[in-house]
């Protein structure tokens, strides 16, 4: 979506809007980061008219999420301070304050490409959403119009426009946020929230609450904790513990700034101490009612699960099971889209066995609603894990997931075997010839090939191996004769194509299995008539026929090869 947003083609912008509108039914409601990426790209696109950005903001997503859209723009340009903290406040006064400041910054951001019509449209949207035109917004638009030498919108020229200041300087040199005069009847709780917009000291909160005769609420502590956490994690934790000591029951909004600071680093794995701290924070709020906004939600659980999966916590499995069982008991289940994302993160785990255990816990956390797509993602995650101690996935671990698929009625496909065999091939190419893991790797290939053979003969007679993965693996590791013959036994069940047959013949010839190659070549004579066989495969077949003592057949095959080469 971000790449499409960088285009100045209106059709691309329309496609972005369609994608965002379709996300709730496909992958869940769009997250704030989706809007941030898109709006950031739109705002920095040189050829895109500013009014088009405004229309995108107005028309995309539910109306009650316009604050998220504006917040995404502010966050992208890093011009707003404490705007995220404002989002925690739900009173009408603070909502108006938040929206007003948001539109002020929006007016400034749009200046490089704005027109009179764009600003007129901005003012129209403000009017529709009952956002007052403040003095700051009016001045920002007026300055921008004069700099660009364009007409000032007619709305600002009207005599009945009431422009209201939002800030007043205090004697201490700071700027105290106050409620707009358009809303003079503000509750004391709102005034306390506004005074805490940049406060980091818990004592200052308690003192202000005492002066205003207000009982401190979770949203007030949220502001102080968020501000303190922005300065340092230690300061944020101190503010949080001060709230608990003051008999304030922790809520999700109070711990969210701390959790994000502890777990959302992009340059390092979460430490053991960070995970332990987050789990303790979770235990403080986990017993909140499931339908309460104060308890952990799916977004919170997704962050915690993801962080544990990529961490090296020694007790990660016990923690994951504790979270999963609590989710099951509370009835708050991980949705399929989030579960698939979490499975991708499992590929960074320490071992293949741990991934399977994580998958079992995640299965419980989703209410046992595991789709075929989620199984496929888990199997691919197993083939992506490599470490010096365990460079490839053990067949029993891989087959355990396949057995679970079968038990749930999900059919096994040929790609499930092809992927693991190609994984073994890739690992084999990277291993040193004297590696201690090479014998075990050869045995693993044999186990998988034997499993293919047994499944084709007993369980899944319609199973076809669409690619020559098994034979590529056999050639790569030069297995013993009896192991190659295990592969050959499945030949009648394999979907025949030129690439597959060529690989079989060349592999057998390189292993000097003349009789086996001859048997395959003669058995497929009728089906080979419509296939183009590479010269290397024909040469391997002729050599095998000669070594098997079938000189007449070898001569006839050599003549056909020569004729085929002449025709092409």
Compute the distance between CA of residue 473 and CA of residue 484 in angstroms, rounded to an integer: 10
Helix (H, G, I), strand (E, B) or coil at 177: strand
CB 153 within 8 A of CB 118: no
In tens, the pLDDT along 211-228 reads: 888 889 888 898 899 889
Q: In sequence order, which residues have a C-beta less than 8 Å from that of residue 149 and are 6 or more positions away? A: none
Over residues 71-94, mean pLDDT: 39
Phi, psi of 468 (to 5 degrees): -90, 40
Kindly state the tokens that stand for 448: 């998988």
Block residue for tokens 């949080």: 240
In tens, the pLDDT along 338-396 reads: 777 787 777 666 688 888 888 888 888 887 777 788 888 888 888 888 777 788 888 88
561 alpha carbon, distance to own chain's centre: 53
Residues across the chain: 568
Give the least confident one: 9-13, 293-297, 500-504: 9-13
Q: Which of 383-387, 397-401, 416-420, 484-488 has the highest mean pLDDT?
A: 397-401
Compute the distance between CA of residue 485 and CA of residue 467 in angstroms, rounded to an integer: 18
Phi, psi of 177 (to 5 degrees): -70, 125
Compute the distance between CA of residue 320 and CA of residue 352 in angstroms, rounded to an integer: 16
Residue 235's pLDDT is what? Answer: 94
Q: Which of 150-154, 269-273, 278-282, 329-333 has the highest mean pLDDT?
A: 278-282
Nearest Cα to Cα of residue 179 among 163, 165, 158, 197: 165
Give the relative orientation of helices 481-489 and 514-523 as an angle to the nearest 10 degrees. Answer: 10
User: Which residues make beta-bridge pairs with 134?
Assistant: 164
Is 151's pLDDT higher than 50? Answer: yes
Helix (H, G, I), strand (E, B) or coil at 468: coil
Compute the distance between CA of residue 540 and CA of residue 546 in angstroms, rounded to an integer: 10
Phi, psi of 74 (to 5 degrees): -65, -40
In tens, the pLDDT along 31-59 reads: 656 665 666 555 555 444 444 555 555 55
Give the relative orientation of helices 32-43 and 50-59 as an angle to the nearest 10 degrees. Answer: 160
The residue among 111 and 130 whose pLDDT is bigger is: 130
Distance between first and last Cα of the chain: 47
Over residues 147-154, mean pLDDT: 74
Residue 243's pLDDT is what? Answer: 93
Compute the distance between CA of residue 224 and CA of residue 243 in angstroms, rounded to an integer: 10
Is 262's pLDDT higher than 70? Answer: yes
Q: What is the CA radius of gyration of the chain?
A: 33
Residue 86's pLDDT is what? Answer: 37
Kindly state the tokens that stand for 285: 């709020």
Over residues 148-164, mean pLDDT: 60
Q: In terms of DSSP H, where are the helices of 347-432?
A: 352-365, 372-384, 395-407, 414-430
User: Which residues make beta-bridge pairs with 249?
Assistant: none
Helix (H, G, I), strand (E, B) or coil at 549: coil
Helices (H) and strands (E) in the chain, counts: 30, 2
Residue 242's pLDDT is what? Answer: 94
Compute the distance between CA of residue 148 and CA of residue 336 in angstroms, rounded to an integer: 50
Over residues 139-152, mean pLDDT: 74
Q: Mean of the per-residue pLDDT values for the chain?
A: 70
Is 128's pLDDT higher than 70? Answer: no
Share of the chain above pLDDT 90, in %: 7
Kindly state the tokens that stand for 151: 């007409």
Residue 85's pLDDT is what? Answer: 37
pTM of the model: 0.53
Block residue for tokens 């903290």: 85
Residue 282's pLDDT is what? Answer: 92
In tens, the pLDDT along 157-205 reads: 653 444 433 333 333 333 233 333 333 334 677 677 767 777 889 999 9
Residue 388's pLDDT is what? Answer: 74
Kindly state the tokens that stand for 202: 């818990």
163 alpha carbon, distance to own chain's centre: 44
The HSE-up count of residue 43 (CA atoms within 13 Å, CB side) is 23
Phi/psi-derived region of residue 363, left when phi > 0, alpha when psi is between -120 and 50, beta in every other case: alpha
Is 516's pLDDT higher than 50? Answer: yes
Residue 325's pLDDT is what? Answer: 87
Q: In terms of DSSP H, where are the helices of 183-294?
A: 188-195, 202-212, 218-231, 233-245, 252-263, 272-285
Residue 238's pLDDT is what? Answer: 94
CB 550 within 8 A of CB 541: no
In tens, the pLDDT along 309-343 reads: 888 888 888 898 898 888 888 877 787 777 777 87
In tens, the pLDDT along 439-491 reads: 888 788 777 777 765 665 444 444 444 434 444 444 444 443 445 555 555 54
* Largest distance between two CA atoms of the chain: 109
The residue among 210 and 519 whose pLDDT is bigger is: 210
């Amino acid at each position: 979506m971000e790449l499409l947003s960088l285009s100045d083609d209106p059709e691309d912008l329309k496609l972005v809007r369609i994608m965002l509108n379709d996300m709730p039914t496909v992958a869940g409601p769009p997250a704030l980061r989706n809007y941030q990426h898109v709006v950031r790209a739109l705002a920095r696109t040189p050829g895109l008219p500013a009014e088009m950005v405004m229309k995108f903001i107005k028309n995309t997503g539910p109306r009650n999420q316009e604050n998220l859209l504006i917040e995404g723009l502010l966050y992208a340009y890093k011009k707003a301070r404490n705007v995220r903290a404002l989002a925690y406040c739900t009173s009408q006064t603070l909502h108006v304050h938040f929206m007003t400041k948001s539109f002020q910054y929006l007016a400034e951001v749009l200046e490089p490409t704005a027109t009179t019509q764009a600003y007129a449209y901005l003012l129209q949207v403000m009017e529709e959403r009952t956002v007052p035109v403040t003095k700051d917004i009016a001045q920002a638009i007026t300055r921008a119009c004069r700099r660009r030498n364009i007409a000032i919108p007619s709305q600002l020229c009207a005599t009945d426009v009431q422009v209201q200041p939002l800030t007043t300087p205090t004697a201490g040199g700071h700027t105290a946020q106050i409620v707009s005069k358009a809303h003079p009847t503000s509750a004391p709780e709102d005034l306390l929230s506004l005074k805490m917009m940049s406060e980091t000291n818990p004592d200052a909160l308690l003192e202000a609450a005492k002066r205003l005769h207000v009982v401190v609420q979770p949203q007030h502590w949220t502001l102080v904790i968020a501000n303190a956490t922005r300065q340092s994690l230690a300061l944020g934790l101190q503010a949080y513990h001060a709230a608990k000591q003051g008999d304030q029951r922790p809520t999700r909004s109070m711990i969210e700034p701390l959790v994000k600071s502890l777990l959302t680093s992009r340059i390092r794995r979460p430490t053991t101490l960070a995970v332990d701290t987050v789990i303790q924070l979770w235990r403080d709020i986990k017993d909140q009612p499931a339908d309460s906004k104060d308890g952990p939600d799916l977004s919170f659980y997704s962050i915690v699960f993801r962080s544990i999966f990529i961490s090296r916590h020694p007790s990660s499995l016990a923690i994951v099971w504790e979270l999963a069982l609590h989710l099951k008991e509370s009835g708050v289940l991980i949705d399929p889209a989030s579960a698939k994302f979490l499975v991708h993160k499992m590929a960074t785990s320490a071992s293949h066995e741990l991934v399977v255990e994580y998958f079992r816990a995640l299965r419980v956390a989703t209410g046992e609603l595991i789709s075929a797509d989620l199984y496929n993602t888990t199997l691919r995650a197993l083939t992506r894990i490599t470490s010096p101690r365990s460079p490839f996935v053990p067949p029993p671990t891989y087959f355990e997931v396949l057995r679970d698929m079968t038990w749930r009625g999900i059919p096994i496909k040929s790609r499930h075997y092809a992927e693991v065999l190609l994984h073994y091939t890739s690992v084999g190419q990277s291993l040193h010839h004297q590696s201690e893991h090479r014998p075990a790797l050869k045995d693993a290939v044999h186990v998988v090939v034997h499993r293919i053979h047994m499944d084709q003969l007993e369980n899944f007679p319609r199973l076809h191996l669409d690619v020559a993965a098994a034979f590529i693996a056999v050639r790569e590791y030069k297995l013993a004769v009896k192991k190659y013959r295990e592969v050959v036994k499945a030949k009648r069940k394999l979907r025949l194509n030129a690439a597959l047959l060529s690989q079989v013949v060349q592999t057998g010839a390189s292993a000097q299995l003349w009789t086996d190659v001859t048997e395959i070549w003669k058995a497929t004579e009728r089906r080979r008539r419509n296939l183009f066989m590479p010269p290397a495969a024909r040469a391997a077949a002729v050599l095998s026929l000669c070594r098997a003592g079938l000189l007449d057949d070898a001569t006839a095959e050599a003549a056909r090869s020569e004729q085929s080469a002449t025709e092409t």
